[in-house]
Amino acid sequence: MDAMAKLYAGDVHWVNIVGMHWQGKAQVDQAHRAYFDIMFKGVPLTLEAIESVVALPGGALVAVLRWAVGAFRTPFGQQMPPSRDRMSLVLIPQADEIVIAHGSNVQIDEQAQNSDPIRQKQR
């Protein structure tokens, strides 16, 4: 988690997979650490793909990544099956590095993928 925290801008925003909105490096770091300790300790998390990286004016980037997430248990005890998630990141230049200004996760609904009008046209 320390390595991830180093990637946050001071005024980072994060919207998690269930719609919680955390603001500022301290909140984003605290929330990620709490949930990784509670739900994701020992759960396989695999980066499947960097689906896109788009440059914006001023040196910012928007990246879309796809993750495979193993089964886990929620804080309320609900067992969740393995899933795939899509993460969007807004990255900005800061000093000599690129940091995360905004992050958001969305769980991929595998059934709904069959109804994606863009994917249907590509077949």
Residues 67 and 43: beta-carbon distance below 8 Å: no
Q: Are strands 79-80 and 83-94 parallel, antiparallel or unpaired?
A: unpaired
Question: Which residues, including other chains, have CB under 8 Å from residue 19's CB and lie 6 or more apart?
Answer: none
Per-domain residue ranges of the chain: 2-109
d(CA 20, CA 104): 10
Per-residue pLDDT of the chain (123 residues; tens, 9 = 90+): 788 899 999 999 999 999 999 999 999 999 999 999 989 999 999 999 999 999 999 999 999 999 999 999 998 999 999 999 999 999 999 999 999 999 999 999 888 888 888 877 665
- Domain 2-109: give its CATH code: 3.10.450.50
Residues 119 and 110: beta-carbon distance below 8 Å: no
Amino acid making up residue 81: P
